[in-house]
């Protein structure tokens, strides 16, 4: 495992008139492809009738022109790109999830992870609920449709269900008449909305997806907010806002988000440059050149070079047809993809002492391979600097690390990690400096670096907890 394995991206839109909303959603999902490369899906609402397509694979692979044409016209749509943190790689776990119930129909796409999904699912199953997927998203859909039986509207049903959901969730929900954007009270995962010149409202995990479809950024969805987009425009339900401390995931800024995105008022590029500048001051190295590991290490490398007064060089050529290795299934495949993905530019490093900037070390195997590549290209020294503190604890809010068994820093000293990776020196960002990345505008979650868990911890932590073999279950 190279990185912590997150993530999902959600997208939704509501147009003032009927049009080709599937194509816009396709463009939005392409902009969010970095958040999930396992599966994807689009659901279109055409005058209250929901139709969709989803499958395993990348957005361009799943949605050929004939499939997009078959989705037809509509007024609203939702889309999703997935890397699963609960449930396996299976087409049935692809999203958006479509539910038909007595009050109508609903499509739901989810980014995040519930810590009480196991208990909720068990409770629902004992009441006769039948589940068709092994993801926690279906648990959310059950609670909402259950509440819809007695509540007068979809937004009221969502508000009734929210207090029962513990953990991280940013949702886009499509009903026959409305588009909803929902963010958990901690604001653990990002969500924002914008508007196109033609009046179309667009909701997305990151602002880069708004730009991709020609929408101007309006604002972030507030933690605890339910934003409702209907024929009258947008209105907001905020009674759950402020009920929890705001603790957005700090690793969004370090790695997950695209550098051209702005999350909760903080530019990702600027946050990464600041991380590099901090590292230059706290972990200096006698070196000749600074290079970054594409893509999340590049901005930080610029900041490090600037603060250290060292030249910045492009040290790697990246194969753009290979996706993010941390969300490729299987450790052996991820390691092979690293070799295919990155090639060293020999002229940039040969005969030089190199500062190598990357975002993190999880298991350490990929970092070791990259260091070895640099030495083979002629680098005389390699000083590895990471823009994240050491990972010493699992994350339960949308990142696929259920325990610390595969976290190298949880079981080795700094010197041991350095020796295992094979670099000449090793430096991590100080955990106490994390707030400087976002200029301490709000609170943040740093549980994976040894902090507390703001939204609690799950009783059962297995990713495949709903897929266990009979021999492993407690009957």
Active site annotation includes 8: yes
**pLDDT averaged over the chain?**
91
2.40.30.30, 3.30.70.100, 3.60.20.10, 3.30.565.10: CATH of 7-247: 3.60.20.10
For residue 389, the 8-state DSSP code is: P
pLDDT at 403: 79
User: Going by C-beta distance under 8 Å and a sequence separation of 6 or more, which residues neighbour residue 440?
Assistant: none
Angle 464-361-29 from CA coordinates, rounded to 5°: 60
Half-sphere exposure of 22 (CA within 13 A, CB side): 26
pLDDT digits (tens, 9 = 90+) for 98-145: 999 999 999 999 999 999 999 999 999 999 989 999 889 999 999 999
Catalytic pick from 8, 249, 395, 423? 8
Rg for the chain (alpha carbons), in Å? 22
pLDDT of 444-463, one tens digit each? 999 999 979 999 999 876 65
Number of neighbours of residue 24 by Cβ within 10 angstroms? 23
Helix (H, G, I), strand (E, B) or coil at 174: strand
Q: How confident is the model at residue 72 (pLDDT cuts 50, 70, 90)?
A: confident
Percentage of the chain lying above the pLDDT 70 cut: 90
**Distance (Å, rounded) from C-alpha 152 to C-alpha 146?**
12
- Residues forming CATH 3.40.50.2020 domain(s) in the chain: 267-446
Q: Lowest mean pLDDT: which of 153-157, 240-244, 378-382?
A: 240-244
To the nearest 10 degrees (0 to 180), the angle between helices 331-341 and 365-376 is 30
Residue 473 has pLDDT above 50, yes or no: no
Helix, strand, coil fractions of the chain, as percent rounded to 5 = 30, 25, 40
pTM for this entry = 0.91
Summarize the confidence of residues 314-339 as an average pLDDT.
66
Whole-number pLDDT of residue 91: 86
Ranges in the chain annotated CATH 3.60.20.10: 7-247
- The whole-number pLDDT of residue 98 equals 97
Q: Are 316 and 335 in contact (CB under 8 A)?
A: no
CATH of the domain spanning 267-446: 3.40.50.2020
């Amino acid at each position: 495992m190279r990185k912590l394995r997150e993530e999902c991206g959600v997208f939704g839109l509501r147009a003032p008139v009927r049009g080709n909303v599937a194509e816009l959603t396709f463009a939005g999902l392409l902009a969010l492809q970095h958040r999930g490369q396992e599966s994807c899906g689009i659901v279109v609402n055409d005058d209250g009738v929901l139709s969709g397509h989803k499958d395993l694979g990348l957005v361009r692979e799943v949605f050929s022109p004939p499939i997009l044409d078959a989705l037809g016209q509509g007024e609203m749509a939702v889309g999703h790109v997935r890397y699963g943190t609960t449930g396996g790689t299976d087409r049935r776990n692809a999203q958006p999830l479509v539910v038909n119930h007595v009050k109508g129909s609903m499509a739901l796409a989810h980014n995040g992870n519930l810590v009480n999904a196991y208990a909720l699912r068990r409770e629902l199953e004992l009441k006769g609920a039948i589940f068709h997927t092994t993801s926690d998203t279906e648990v959310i859909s059950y609670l909402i449709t259950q509440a819809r039986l007695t509540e007068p509207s979809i937004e009221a049903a969502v508000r009734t269900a929210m207090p029962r959901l513990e953990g991280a969730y940013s949702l886009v929900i499509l009903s026959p008449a409305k588009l909803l954007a929902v963010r958990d009270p901690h604001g653990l995962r990002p969500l924002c909305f914008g508007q196109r010149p033609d009046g179309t409202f667009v909701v997305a995990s990151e602002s880069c997806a708004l730009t991709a479809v020609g929408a101007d950024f309006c604002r972030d969805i507030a933690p605890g907010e339910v934003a409702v987009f209907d024929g009258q425009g947008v209105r907001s339900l905020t009674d759950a806002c402020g009920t929890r401390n705001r603790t957005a995931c700090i690793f969004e800024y370090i790695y997950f988000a695209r550098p051209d995105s702005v999350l909760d008022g903080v530019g990702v590029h600027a946050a990464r440059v600041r991380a590099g500048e901090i590292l230059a001051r706290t972990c200096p190295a006698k070196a000749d050149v600074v290079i970054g590991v594409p893509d999340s290490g590049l901005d930080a490398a610029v900041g490090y070079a600037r603060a250290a007064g060292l030249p910045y060089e492009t040290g790697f050529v990246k194969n753009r047809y290979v996706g993010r290795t941390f969300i490729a299934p299987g450790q052996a495949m991820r390691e092979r993809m690293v070799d295919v993905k990155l090639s060293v530019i020999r002229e940039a490093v040969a005969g030089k002492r190199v500062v190598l900037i990357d975002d993190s070390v999880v298991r350490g195997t990929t970092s070791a391979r990259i260091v070895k590549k640099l030495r083979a290209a002629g680098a005389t020294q390699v000083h590895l600097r990471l823009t994240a503190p050491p990972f010493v604890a699992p994350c339960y809010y949308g990142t696929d690390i259920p325990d610390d068994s595969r976290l190298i820093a949880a079981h080795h000293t700094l010197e041991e990690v350095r020796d295992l990776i094979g670099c000449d020196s090793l430096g991590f960002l100080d955990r106490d400096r994390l707030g400087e990345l976002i200029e301490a505008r709000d609170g943040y979650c740093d549980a994976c670096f040894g902090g507390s868990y703001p939204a609690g911890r799950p009783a059962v932590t297995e990713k495949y907890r709903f897929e266990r073999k009979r021999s492993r279950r407690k009957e």
